Structure 1
Amino acid sequence: MSLFSDLPGDEGLPGVQRRRAMLAVMTATTMAVFDGTIINVALPQISLALQTSAAASVWVANAYLLATAMTLAAFAALSSRLGFRTQFTAGLAVFTLASLGCALSHSVDLLIAMRVLQGLGGAAMLSIAPAIHRTVFPNRLLGRILGLNAVLVAASTAVGPVLGGTLLAALGWEWIFLINVPLGIVAVLLSWSAIPETRKPVQAPFDVAGALWSALAMGAIIMAADTCARFAEPGQGTHARLEAAAYALVALLAGAAFVRGQRRVPEPLLPLDIFANARFSLAALTSLASFVGQGIAFVALPFLFQNGYGYTAFESAALFTPWPLGIVLVAPHAGKLADRHSPALLSSLGLALFTVGLGLLALLPDHAQAWDIGWRALVCGMGFGFFQSPNNREMLSNVARERSGNASGVLAIMRTFGQCLGAALLGTILAIYTAGAVAQGELKMSAAQDGDAIRLALWVAVLATALATAVSASRLRRKAQSPA
């Protein structure tokens, strides 16, 4: 049955309006994913064109990530006051205008400022995109649309570097941002005409303190992870460790202050009572642990491919292609199955396969051929694709519809926090191996040592996803709770 067919008793929107809303959300999602995958390819050319250092150009990428992560919780809460249509359309408009500003920037400082604006617009959209799907589509189709969304993200991730390389070669770095402008204009028109307004009257003032504490906590987490990634750089070890410890302390204190404040304000930024539903809480923990494993693998494997095996950057990107391909092949079917069968069971099976795939990558021989890497990466992608959409469905369907924005924000926070924690763990492992190499009188790790460090990191990723599998499987003993 079509995603746009109507049945008696369906929640959400009629089929025609449903199609337009889906196109708006998916266009915006594609823009955000492309932006995240293309920018890393473009940094060397941006650095050269704007006559800035490589270290400064890295902040072109980091500024977007920081702005997004720091405001996810705030925008998830604001959606109930502003309404999905107003917030999503405004965020999309800001993202589109900031993209134009990025393309017109003639200094790295202005470009970084525009990237911060892009991040704010992206957070306004991404924090509520899954919630819009739940509002627009009936429950019987929720798994299918989330599976289709997973396919879109995976396909965009795979195509992004290729598209970015083509635009850079043919037109210049400005076009990686200009491509967002026509897409953004179309998506703004679609979203304003098709996404329903969900604003509800709220008497209590907005939780400004909670927004500030959450922003400080998430920003400190991102900076701690970024600092951990510098542990392995020559001469950075001691300073980077102290800096990471300071950021981690700030994150811990800000997080504690945030949780304490949420229990006291009449209209909290993140209502903690949504975690009273055990299946929602377990799905959130499952997502967190799984993204730790994914975060480690995504950062570690390029080191293995290039430093351990000697592949070029382009070849390394090509070796990643089977991973998103596996998601594309599996995620739509997983989404359909989740509408008819237990999402917890499907998630657990997918995570088990994902764990096996990571273990296979950790067992790669010292001189692996491309085909040997590819089929193992494909197993990872198929496992992750079979896990993600059922688990997301479980999170969204175990809260009341009026709390969908909050649940969507939690989903985005778990993904961001998990990936950052994975990067921090990898940075720590690389630092330990680098310190060992220096102690032996070497300037840097050898290819063999690099390979050993990455394999250890992959085994840590296996442990993280095995934990996620165990948490996911624990849901099978619990009956589904109807959201209040």
Structure 2
Amino acid sequence: MSGIEQRAGRPAPGLRRITLPVLFASVVVVTIDISMTSTALPAIAQGLGVAPATTIWIVNIYYLAVVAGLLPSAAMGEIFGHERVFTAGLAIFAAGALIAGLADSLEMLIAGRAVLGIGAAATSATTPALIRALYPPDRMGRGLGLYAMIVGVSITAGPTATSAILAAADWPWLFLQAAATSAVATVICHRTLPAVERSARAFDGIAAALCAAMFSCLLFAIAGAAHLGAGPALAALGAAAVLAVALRRREAGRPAPLLAADLFKAPLFALSSATAIVAFSVQGLSFVVLPFLLHYELGFSQVQTGLLIMPWPAALVVMSVIAPRLSERVPPGLLGGFGLAVLGAGLALLSTIEPGAGPVDIGWRLVICGIGFGFFQSPNMLAIMSSAPRERSGGAGGILATSRLLGQSVGAAAVALCLAVSPERGVHVALWLGVGAALVGACVSLTRLIPAVRRA
């Protein structure tokens, strides 16, 4: 046996106790970055002396870099080793955060965010595959449940963490602390992450470029629909369609295509991915619209708004313990359908809040939302990862991360569109749009219970 094959197993329990905390700590640093940066845009604009509207590119360039790099990174993980790509991604993330933290101009900050996004793509695409390698098959659901909880909590904790850092330091420390943390994690991961079985196929750089350009155009079309109007959005969507055709032809007949189209032949994988896109669009919509609801309509301060959102991730923490155990006995289609219906009910209740409502009135509604999303998230992750062959864990992880990012982007764009069309009622229109999307996601999830789908 080769050295790689000998190491391509799960680490000893003692090593796992070191590896898993570092792996999940890295996930926190990477995931919390985007919500922290979005919250800090006014402070960044003031610090750099630029118009607040121009700082949107700090967020947009990050999303474009991440979505462009996800599936190529997943393919590189299968070929060169998920542990290598994850560690390299952390190092790139640290470099990008350092550039951003030292930036003295908007252009330099945007460049740092682009580098940072490439690193985030590499870590996000390979994390599910590493969890699959680190956990025994009968406990993989619990590992993915913990990952789901960490992602959800990190996203929602961003505004509160940003408020805490900005209360004690200037905005560059948002990035400098991330650079230091991810640099330390890079060293530890390099020494402790176990090697994972690799594919013998060659990496197709042309397919990777086509894939990256296609998803960049698609994301630009989604974001541009609200900010730039129909013309640029449709042009970008047309370019994405042309690139998709070119990518499809490039990879025709290949057993492991970069876009992982082979995995969508399994109905359970395809429906689970579709459910993820819809569910994360509801999550993305919710986390963008909640600050508008709490700050502008209900009159809470920015710090209070961050704290008031915390019941959602707190409920998600509890569900991260319950849902993975339930998924061992209850089909993910049923858990996801029930959870998204509960999430829709929570958003409907949020739309009934009136000025003068106290923290308790807001908190119990957000707890319902967190419980509903918790029923969906980790069982759906398990369904996606377990319905793919082990040697295609990288492709499945890439689709999982891409589904989350696309969904969140659609949700954020939907809020922007609602606010642009109806500034006075846009918040409530967006909430009810989230209710409708949650119910659609519930129906999609429940179709996984059809016997023919479960047998396929």
TM-score normalised according to structure 2 size: 0.91
- Aligned equivalent of 1:383: 372
Gapped regions of structure 2 (runs ≥ 5)? 1-8
- Aligned equivalent of 2:243: 254
How many correspondences in the alignment? 448
- Aligned equivalent of 1:102: 100
Rate the CA distance shift 1:225–1:125 in 2: closer, same or farther, 3 A: same
- Aligned equivalent of 2:388: 399
Gapped regions of structure 1 (runs ≥ 5)? 1-10, 231-238, 434-444
Task: Report the residue type matching 1:410 in the other structure.
Answer: I
The 1-side partners of 2:208 and 2:311 are apart by 39
Q: 2:110 aligns with which of 112, 115, 120?
A: 112
Alpha-carbon deviations, 1:214-253, whole Å to 9, x = none? 22222223223333333xxxxxxxx623222222322333
Rate the CA distance shift 1:138–1:161 in 2: closer, same or farther, 3 A: same
The 1-side partners of 2:337 and 2:255 are apart by 37
Secondary structure of 2:229 counterpart: helix
Alpha-carbon deviations, 1:52-81, whole Å to 9, x = none? 332332222222221111111111111111
The 2-side partners of 1:397 and 1:229 are apart by 37
- Aligned equivalent of 2:219: 222
- Aligned equivalent of 1:454: 427
Alignment check: 8 A CA contact 1:20 1:191 kept: no
Rate the CA distance shift 1:191–1:480 in 2: closer, same or farther, 3 A: farther
Aligned ranges 1:187-226 → 2 under 5 Å: 187-198=185-196, 200-204=198-202, 206-226=203-223
Alignment check: 8 A CA contact 1:225 1:423 kept: no
- Aligned equivalent of 1:337: 326
The 2-side partners of 1:52 and 1:158 are apart by 27
Aligned ranges 1:165-176 → 2 under 5 Å: 165-176=163-174
Secondary structure of 1:179 counterpart: helix
TM superposition shift of 1:82: 1.4
Task: Report the residue type matching 2:212 in the other structure.
Answer: A
The 2-side partners of 1:249 and 1:362 are apart by 36
Aligned ranges 1:145-294 → 2 under 5 Å: 145-198=143-196, 200-204=198-202, 206-230=203-227, 240-265=229-254, 267-294=256-283
Alignment check: 8 A CA contact 1:143 1:337 kept: no
The 1-side partners of 2:233 and 2:16 are apart by 46
The 1-side partners of 2:207 and 2:247 are apart by 6
Q: 2:43 aligns with which of 45, 51, 55?
A: 45
Alpha-carbon deviations, 1:154-189, whole Å to 9, x = none? 333344323322222322222111212342233223
Task: Report the residue type matching 1:167 in the other structure.
Answer: I
- Aligned equivalent of 1:135: 133
TM superposition shift of 1:289: 1.2
Alignment check: 8 A CA contact 2:420 2:426 kept: no
The 2-side partners of 1:414 and 1:388 are apart by 12
Rate the CA distance shift 1:220–1:270 in 2: closer, same or farther, 3 A: closer
Alignment check: 8 A CA contact 2:211 2:259 kept: no
Task: Report the residue type matching 1:248 in the other structure.
Answer: L
Rate the CA distance shift 1:463–1:247 in 2: closer, same or farther, 3 A: same
The 2-side partners of 1:99 and 1:332 are apart by 32
The 2-side partners of 1:13 and 1:482 are apart by 33
Rate the CA distance shift 1:462–1:41 in 2: closer, same or farther, 3 A: closer
Alignment check: 8 A CA contact 1:343 1:394 kept: yes
Alignment check: 8 A CA contact 2:260 2:399 kept: no
Rate the CA distance shift 1:207–1:267 in 2: closer, same or farther, 3 A: farther
The 2-side partners of 1:364 and 1:263 are apart by 52
Pairing 1:358–2:347 present: yes
268-277 or 365-374, which moves further after superposition?
A: 365-374
TM superposition shift of 1:333: 1.2
Rate the CA distance shift 1:259–1:465 in 2: closer, same or farther, 3 A: farther
The 2-side partners of 1:94 and 1:187 are apart by 12
Aligned ranges 1:71-82 → 2 under 5 Å: 71-82=69-80
- Aligned equivalent of 1:236: none
Rate the CA distance shift 1:296–1:214 in 2: closer, same or farther, 3 A: same
Alignment check: 8 A CA contact 2:197 2:391 kept: no
Task: Report the residue type matching 1:395 in the other structure.
Answer: I
Task: Report the residue type matching 1:223 in the other structure.
Answer: F
Rate the CA distance shift 1:64–1:300 in 2: closer, same or farther, 3 A: same
- Aligned equivalent of 2:447: 474
142-151 or 75-84, which moves further after superposition?
A: 142-151
Larger Rg: 1
Task: Report the residue type matching 1:272 in the other structure.
Answer: A
Secondary structure of 1:106 counterpart: coil
Identity of aligned residues (%): 34
The 1-side partners of 2:257 and 2:336 are apart by 30
TM-score normalised according to structure 1 size: 0.86
Q: 2:438 aligns with which of 465, 476, 480?
A: 465
55-64 or 109-118, which moves further after superposition?
A: 55-64
Quote the RMSD (CA, aligned, Å): 2.4
Task: Report the residue type matching 1:393 in the other structure.
Answer: L
Rate the CA distance shift 1:201–1:412 in 2: closer, same or farther, 3 A: closer
321-330 or 15-24, which moves further after superposition?
A: 15-24
TM superposition shift of 1:116: 0.9
Rate the CA distance shift 1:373–1:23 in 2: closer, same or farther, 3 A: same
- Aligned equivalent of 1:316: 305
Alignment check: 8 A CA contact 2:256 2:262 kept: no
Q: 1:12 aligns with which of 10, 13, 16?
A: 10
The 2-side partners of 1:88 and 1:94 are apart by 10
The 1-side partners of 2:56 and 2:426 are apart by 24
Rate the CA distance shift 1:174–1:287 in 2: closer, same or farther, 3 A: same
